Amino acid sequence: MDLLADRKADDSPIFRAHMERTLKEHARKMDEKQSAGYSVFKDPSFSGRSYSTDGDSLTYTQSALYRFVDMKKLRYPGTQTQYKRKKVYDFHNRIIMGHYNGIMKDLIYGAAAEVEADLRSKIDNTNI
């Protein structure tokens, strides 16, 4: 059996390369959008975000402070039922969930024939 010939016919390395490229591209776009939005906050606590990809997953880490920025209302101190509305910053949920849908569409429909042919040619041109 020719292992190299069998692997050239296999599409799983091509799909993994497409998946990794898609995840890295979306992570870069999310970081750009969030960095532009969070630039209004001068507190150094807002500097602990990071994205990492490891082949088939995208991991986003942040401090808990980021989750409170896009909450719509806050409770008055000492009361249980009175709330006040605050200015809404769409830096977290809108960006992350918008890109989540984009990632799903790119992974499902983005592995078209021309993307596959492009990745296959890059793999064939690599020296082992």
Q: How confident is the model over 69-128, as pLDDT tens digits?
A: 766 666 666 666 677 666 767 777 788 888 898 888 888 877 676 677 777 777 777 655
- First-to-last alpha carbon distance for the chain, in angstroms, is 19
Asked whether the whole model's pTM tops 0.85, one would answer no
Q: How confident is the model over 46-67, as pLDDT tens digits?
A: 777 889 988 788 998 887 777 7
Residue 25 φ/ψ region, left for φ over 0, alpha for ψ in the -120 to 50 degree band, beta for the rest: alpha
Joined tokens for residue 77:
């101190």
Joined tokens for residue 36:
């532009």
Measured CA to CA, the distance from residue 69 to residue 78 in angstroms comes to 21
Q: Are 75 and 83 in contact (CB under 8 A)?
A: yes
Beta-carbon contacts of 111 under 8 Å, excluding residues fewer than 6 positions away, are 14, 15, 18
Any idea where the domains of the chain sit in the sequence? 12-124
Q: How confident is the model over 6-24, as pLDDT tens digits?
A: 655 566 777 788 788 889 9
